[in-house]
Structure 1
Amino acid sequence: MRLRIPSTPVMRRLIKRSMPTTLFGRSLLIIILPVALMQVAVTWVFFDAHWQAVTSRLSDGLAGDVAWAVESYMDDPSPQALAKLTNRAERSMSLSIALQPGRTLPVGRRPALFAVVDRSMEKALAARLDAPFWFDTTRYPAYVDIRVQTPQGVLRVLAPRERAIATQGHIFVLWMTIATLILTAISILFIRNQVRAIERLASAAEAFGLGVDAPAFKPHGAREVRQAAHAFLAMKSRIQRHIDQRTALLASVSHDLRTPLTRLKLELALAEPTSRTAEMKRDLSEMEHMIDEYLAFARGEGGEAVETISLKALIDEVSEGALRAGAEVQVAVDAELTCAVRPNALKRALSNLIMNAAVHGERIEVSASARPTGGVEIVVDDDGPGIPEARYEEAFKAFNRLDESRNQNEKGVGLGLAIARDVARGHGGDVTLARSPLGGLRAVVRLPG
């Protein structure tokens, strides 16, 4: 069986997926990772080059003292000589020596936390002693237990731990850890301060895109972030001027167009009722409806304030128009369901969807529910002819009428779905189409929380 090694693109994708996705996480990784690698490298070099070398020298020195004590005892194993040897070793070398008559060496020992300690001690004792020996560096926190087999029994030597091991190594590691934590904390504070400026800029841009002004926003942070913030404010000012100019223009157009229409309607109302005047009234009504849709699409609802409303009350109000048009409307909305929206804009969007369903179908079902990920979802189903799935996106294009399926309404100008999607996206949501369980079209309005 051949072992397949992942290709380079696969490895790159795996690494990319494991990397942080936020600017804060990536900036922290850029700073912390090199520091952590440096600390690990320095610690490794310290233990490998310095701590191990010092431990080996200390072990070798202790092994020499133990060998001297064993040789001195073997030369004269009398109790008097042992007592003298014990006193001298305690006074001069801080070694505690005791004879255990008739004993033998223990079998096995517990390994030390750092294997280099046992290796250094075993190597030093093996080089200095000819007799069998045993040692333990873990049983006593402050001592090293060394035992040597003699004809009279076991000669036990307890040596201070600092005579065999460089005990200050953990202090070095502790200070390295503390330094790393301090550097990490400082990095987090500085990075967080810079990222916060970018987050505020993103929040202000998102709010402006949803039609909500953020007057308290002021550029701050690094020079590049302030430069981007000033560019955003300049762009916002230009867009706002354009919106104000368009609003003024539309108000003027609306007034100029409605004035002659009103005069014509008044003249027709005073004229003798004939078939021709009836046709002219229908033409004027259609023209007025078309002008209303054109202006609604061009004007939008960006200047309206956001309010938290009851969706059931809004949907019930919009559904009344479909009921008057003769459609059967069923509404399934929780009375407690609320959403922060621009009421008039959402009302216009839902009115377009529901009235569109009423024109092309006889049965309409409207439901609304909270989404698991946050926000709400409003669904409008009808039993009309529907739209081919391949033309769903085409139906959202402004002034587009799908004559062979949905838009047979003589008064329509192909703006209903376009206005609905524009309103939903202006709230940060969207409108999508699907096949309805009733056999017609399903329009799904998703709004953020």
Structure 2
Amino acid sequence: MFRWLKRMMPRGLYGRAALILLVPIITLQIVVSGQILQRYFREVAGQMSSALALDLRLVVDAIAAGEGQARGLAYALEIDIAIAPRDLLRDQRVFYDLTGIEAIAVLRREVPGLVAVDLVSDWRRPVIIIDTREGNIALSVARSRISASNPHQLLVLMVGFGLFMTWVAYLFLRNQLKPIKRLSDAAEAFGKGRLVSYHPSGAAEVRSAGHAFLDMRARIEGMIEQRTLMLSGVSHDLRTPLTRMKLGLSMLDEAPEVAALLRDVAEMEALLATFLDFARGEALDDPIATDPVALVRALVDDLARGGARVDLVLPAHGAAVMLRPQAVRRCLSNLISNAHRYGATVRLSLSLPPRSIRFTIEDDGPGIPAARRAEAMVPFARLDEARNQDKGSGVGLGLAIARDIAQRHGGSLSLGDSAALGGLRVDLVLPR
């Protein structure tokens, strides 16, 4: 039962706040309305109908005694006497006439020979049909003698003021919820790698959470900056001795040992270049309006000039979305390089769902077992025993850099099997 209620609850903050506000008010309206119907409508209508029943009995007794006396008494009691219509043989009332229920019940109980009570034909003057010695007669009285005039006014006023106070309370509540929504938006934007202006406001607890968020954001930014500087500094400083080693080896006589050392130096330079790419992954460019179709075409053209062939599957028309083009290019470039490292055919597909952008890179290589895909995206993890090493081994940062860029965009990177090519399938999904 509680799980069903939890699924039915609104998911948004405004929806839950409105529910918290409306449930007590509606419950109070129902309880008070029930009490009014029970005590005011029913009891008052019963007392007034009982008093009317006494007058009706007097008129009926007067009719039995003589017509002149009956009409004079009816005139004094403000009761009109007429010939009863033949087709009126049952009680009539509209469904919302709640006081009519009690009035009809009292009249039937206290007026002998009552045939029917008509509360529909004329709302202002109901008609009461009574069977007498002279036949059925119709007695018409003012509705105010059966029940209180305008008995619905209390309910209307209560509902009207309840709605008005609900609206006023919602305005105040919305002002209290705005700072929480602004804090949520700032945290969500920071999770996607964007910095938005945020100033804590609202209640003391909300301001305290806002200041804690700002402190946390500043610490994370500082840690990222220190990490980037450290990786960049270490990679850059190592280039100088490597350059001296490369220069010294080039001056030696050609020998198998020298050639092997030159290959080791070249591999170390490639590793350093990868470290720099990993460090630059933290320093994302600013988001700008970018056409993803044009971005993919430009990237593939640049790779083609370097000898890398990529099959493209693109939508007919693109749409400008907010992206960090340099970071996305770096991410796609790493994924395509990995695909070329382990496969001969590489396919890049782009799709544009309503709320996201999906890049799919597929190859015809050996793929990655499902049990090791999470490990493959860990920095410096190498799964070369499961992949083809004919085209050289990497340092294990390609997928890590791509996943890091995807997460900094607020997106995701997932690995799977390519149904078309039979190798690895990488899906890069970025939110719009």
TM-score by length of 1: 0.88
Partner Cα separation in structure 1 for residue 361 and residue 152 of structure 2 = 69
Partner Cα separation in structure 2 for residue 397 and residue 303 of structure 1 = 20
1:388 and 2:369 aligned: yes
CA contact (8 A) 2:59 2:73 kept: no
C-alpha change, 1:49 and 1:161, in structure 2 (3 Å) is same
Aligned counterpart, 1:441:
424
| 2:348 equivalent among 362, 366, 374 | 366
CA contact (8 A) 1:331 1:366 kept: yes
Displacement after TM superposition at 1:438 (Å) = 0.8
| 2:271 equivalent among 286, 290, 293 | 290
Give the paired residue count. Answer: 429
Taking the TM superposition and a 5 Å limit, the aligned residue runs for 1:394-405 are 394-405=375-386
CA contact (8 A) 1:427 1:448 kept: yes
1:86 and 2:67 aligned: no
Displacement after TM superposition at 1:124 (Å) = 3.2
| 1:412 equivalent among 375, 381, 394 | 394
Aligned counterpart, 2:111:
129
1:76 and 2:94 aligned: no
Displacement after TM superposition at 1:388 (Å) = 1.6
Displacement after TM superposition at 1:447 (Å) = 0.7
Partner Cα separation in structure 1 for residue 252 and residue 293 of structure 2 = 45
Aligned counterpart, 1:237:
218
The C-alpha deviation readout for 1:157-212, integer Å capped at 9, x for no partner, is 11111110123321110111012102211221122222221111111112222221
Aligned counterpart, 1:5:
none
Aligned counterpart, 1:15:
5
Displacement after TM superposition at 1:402 (Å) = 1.1
* 2:191 maps to amino acid: G
Partner Cα separation in structure 2 for residue 329 and residue 432 of structure 1 = 20
1:348 and 2:330 aligned: yes
Partner Cα separation in structure 2 for residue 309 and residue 125 of structure 1 = 81
Q: Secondary structure at the match of 2:141?
A: strand
1:141 and 2:141 aligned: no
The C-alpha deviation readout for 1:366-412, integer Å capped at 9, x for no partner, is 1101124x111111111111112222212111111112222625341
C-alpha change, 1:241 and 1:95, in structure 2 (3 Å) is same
Partner Cα separation in structure 1 for residue 119 and residue 385 of structure 2 = 91
* 2:74 maps to amino acid: A
Partner Cα separation in structure 1 for residue 65 and residue 410 of structure 2 = 95
C-alpha change, 1:93 and 1:129, in structure 2 (3 Å) is same
Partner Cα separation in structure 1 for residue 124 and residue 211 of structure 2 = 66
CA contact (8 A) 1:401 1:407 kept: no
Taking the TM superposition and a 5 Å limit, the aligned residue runs for 1:36-435 are 36-77=26-67, 81=68, 85-86=70-71, 88-90=73-75, 92-99=76-83, 104=86, 106-113=88-95, 117-214=99-196, 216-268=197-249, 275-320=256-301, 323=304, 328-334=309-315, 335-372=317-354, 374-406=355-387, 408=389, 409-435=391-417
CA contact (8 A) 1:105 1:147 kept: no
Partner Cα separation in structure 2 for residue 13 and residue 164 of structure 1 = 50
* 1:136 maps to amino acid: D
Q: Secondary structure at the match of 1:221?
A: coil
C-alpha change, 1:333 and 1:123, in structure 2 (3 Å) is closer
Q: Secondary structure at the match of 1:417?
A: helix
C-alpha change, 1:427 and 1:322, in structure 2 (3 Å) is same
Runs of 5+ in structure 2 lacking a partner?
none
CA contact (8 A) 2:41 2:98 kept: no
* 1:86 maps to amino acid: R
The C-alpha deviation readout for 1:275-319, integer Å capped at 9, x for no partner, is 555433332221111012123224423442112222233323433
Aligned counterpart, 1:8:
none
Runs of 5+ in structure 1 lacking a partner?
1-10
Partner Cα separation in structure 2 for residue 105 and residue 346 of structure 1 = 85
Q: Secondary structure at the match of 1:169?
A: coil
Partner Cα separation in structure 1 for residue 255 and residue 295 of structure 2 = 41
CA contact (8 A) 1:105 1:149 kept: no
CA contact (8 A) 2:92 2:117 kept: no
CA contact (8 A) 1:211 1:302 kept: no
Displacement after TM superposition at 1:213 (Å) = 1.3
C-alpha change, 1:307 and 1:105, in structure 2 (3 Å) is closer
Partner Cα separation in structure 2 for residue 175 and residue 380 of structure 1 = 66
Partner Cα separation in structure 2 for residue 46 and residue 111 of structure 1 = 20
* 1:259 maps to amino acid: T
Q: Once the two structures are aligned, what percentage of the paired residues are identical?
A: 37
Moved over 6 A (4+): none
TM-score by length of 2: 0.91
